[in-house]
Chains A and B, each alone.
Chain A
Amino acid sequence: MTLGLGLKDVRITLGGRDLLSLDCVIEPGTVLTVMGPSGSGKSTLLSFVAGFLTAPFTAEGRILLNGADITDALPEARHVGLLFQDPMLFPHLSVGGNLLFGMPPGSPDRLASAGEALDRFGLEGFADRDPATLSGGQASRVALLRLLLSEPKAALLDEPFSKLDRHLRGDIRRFSFERLRDAGLPTVLVTHDPEDAEAAGGPVVELAGTG
């Protein structure tokens, strides 16, 4: 069995036109950075891996996660976590509720482990907070924590740092990549920003614009 996220002969097309082709394996704890201009199909790649690809895009090829073929699995059965530009914390739940939402049910002391996780992330006592009252940096950390606590086997990052203030961006970026590496997750990062690619420290794929 191969550990990691394998993208085998993946080809994404739009109306018969090739957007991107990719054939690679992302090892656990490494980040594959996909760069390219808007419309080059980078976000579509993430949709394909996460199970959200919709018309008019089509894709072929297989997605292998730790040896298992998840190409046809339902999104919730893939164990692939997503981070967007916005933290997208559920506004109707508390910070703790957001974490518990993603944690697998039935595990003992879910509440306690959510609290401990917040402590580790420098967010002591935040469990009862309203997500709307968090700063941008705090919200990003909660979003990352929510992803990690849902025990995914891979992570997909869709320009997650692009909306952060410049002075925060470096710190959050470093922090996020460290945690993803510690968790041993194979990660795909989609971005415009060369600094993101540099900080990610993994292989980089540059997509051509389609003009």
Chain B
Amino acid sequence: MNAALEMRAVRRVHGSGPGAVTALDGIDLCVERGEFVAVMGPSGSGKSTLLQIAGGLSSPTAGDVLVEGRSLPSATAAQRAAIRRSSVGYVFQDLSVLPSLTALENVMLPLELDGLPFRSARETALEALEAVGIGDLADRFPEAMSGGQAQRVAIARGVVGPRRLLLADEPTGALDSRTGLEVIELLRARADAGAAVVLVTHEPRFAAWADRTVQLRDGRIIGQASPTDPGLLLAEPGGAWPR
């Protein structure tokens, strides 16, 4: 089975000539289905560019990006758009829900763009809202919701339907820490249910919910952290218990 996302030697240069900026410089990253990967790094390290390229919103200068085995750079613009709509879900910091649509209509939107009939789009969207715990707010407009609830709508829209790759760029940025944690729990649950999740964050406490944290600097992966055996770590002789 193909990985949900595979980036091979991805390079991205903004601009050209002496003013050119290398945003990504040889990224190799593979995210399996059911895997939750956090990406951390200082601002300007290439985190957001990585996410945009992973989702086909931007093209690499060199290298290849495969979503479920399909190469984005070698696809036509129309094919790329189709892959984006059918396989990739995005959640951004700025609560990108449409204020003139209800929660349900927001979540139905990508399904209807995919050509799903109204009735099944509605049914699928309702399930997605229930999955993120706000099925009862389906008919509410974003302005009548809390920040956390609106972010849940954005996540429901990101994961609705067959989307198996979920890309989240600082989804907790605008939220208080409690609501932020709820959003992370939700992403964790989506990964446990089989989705591949890539989360860009600057909060270690949220990154620690992932299966793996990838550390970026100057467009390169400089290291990775993943859980060892917590039992072993915590039973370290002496530990922090002073003697």
| A, B: real partners | no
